[in-house]
Chain A
Amino acid sequence: KQEVTQIPAALSVPEGENLVLNCSFTDSAIYNLQWFRQDPGKGLTSLLLIQSSQREQTSGRLNASLDKSSGRSTLYIAASQPGDSATYLCAVPPNAGGTSYGKLTFGQGTILTVHP
């Protein structure tokens, strides 16, 4: 059974810092890895999706890396801003064919606070 762990559970940084969020998974047979952001009382916003054959993806100040063999992914946020404050979640589906690709297993999230 896939288990996804995110460290740290919470992080508070001053504005402008570069930071790294960690995600680990126990079963390396994944189809892809997706990072989401959730603002309080809101839904999830997809940030980045890394296919299992890829090593990293970038979008603006965000860079996500994937090391499938070691079961780890990191989300790097450059020059953090107060608007980045949110809960960040990673999720993986199994690479078991067909309908399994949508069966996401989520980590418990990292609560990020960026203070001015």
Chain B
Amino acid sequence: DTAVSQTPKYLVTQMGNDKSIKCEQNLGHDTMYWYKQDSKKFLKIMFSYNNKELIINETVPNRFSPKSPDKAHLNLHINSLELGDSAVYFCASSSRLVSSYEQYFGPGTRLTVT
């Protein structure tokens, strides 16, 4: 049983295209996150949603738009993709009550923009 799942695992696309990544968690958590891991393996938080409400919004280009239809799902839509968007995008989830804010990560989506 996968706790945090992401689709797709790999995404190769051309500059200028629009793409979406989806995330789902079955842990009963109420908070979900998107992180970006760059080519140097540095991980940085992008967004966080708590019960469908955006609570963390780091300095990210507005071409990136997260959306949480319910607390078990968090999607990331990227418009007008650029070469610099190539990275691995991780989804994570946590809960104060269930996991004391311990974060559980998905397997990642490797995005390559050509």
A residues contacting B by CB (< 8 A) are 31-32, 34, 36, 42-46, 49, 51, 87, 89, 91, 93, 99, 101-104, 106, 108-109
Residues of B within 8 A of A104 (CB): 43, 45, 103
Dominant SS among interface residues on chain B: strand
From B14-22, B75-83, B94-102, the one touching the partner chain is B94-102
B43 contacts A106, C-beta separation under 8 Å: yes
A46 touches B102 (CB 8 A): yes
Total B residues in contact with A, Cβ cutoff 8 Å: 26
Whether the pair B55, A99 counts as a contact (CB closer than 8 A) is yes
Can you name 12 extra interface pairs (CB under 8 A) apart from A42-B108, A99-B56, A104-B43? A31-B101, A32-B102, A43-B105, A44-B90, A99-B48, A102-B31, A102-B33, A102-B56, A102-B101, A103-B48, A106-B42, A108-B41
Identify 14 residue pairs between A and B in the complex whose beta-carbon atoms are under 8 Å apart, listed by A's number. Answer: A31-B101, A43-B90, A43-B105, A49-B100, A49-B102, A51-B100, A91-B43, A99-B50, A99-B56, A102-B31, A103-B48, A104-B43, A108-B40, A109-B41
CB within 8 A of B105: which of A44, A87, A109? A44
10 smallest A-B Cβ distances: which pairs? A99-B55, A44-B105, A106-B43, A43-B107, A43-B105, A49-B102, A101-B101, A43-B108, A102-B48, A43-B106
Q: Is B44 an interface residue (CB 8 A)?
A: yes
Residues in A whose Cβ lies below 8 Å from that of B55: 99, 102
> Which chain B residues border A42 with CB–CB below 8 Å?
107-108
In the complex, B104 has a CB within 8 A of chain A: yes
Residues of A contacting B103 in the complex (Cβ-Cβ under 8 angstroms): 34, 46, 102, 104
Contact with A along B19-46 (1 / 0, CB 8 A): 0000000000001010000001111110
Closest-CB distance, A37 to chain B (whole angstroms): 11
State the CA gap A20–B50 with chains docked (Å): 36
Given contacts A43-B105, A43-B106, A46-B104, contact A101 B90 (CB under 8 A): no
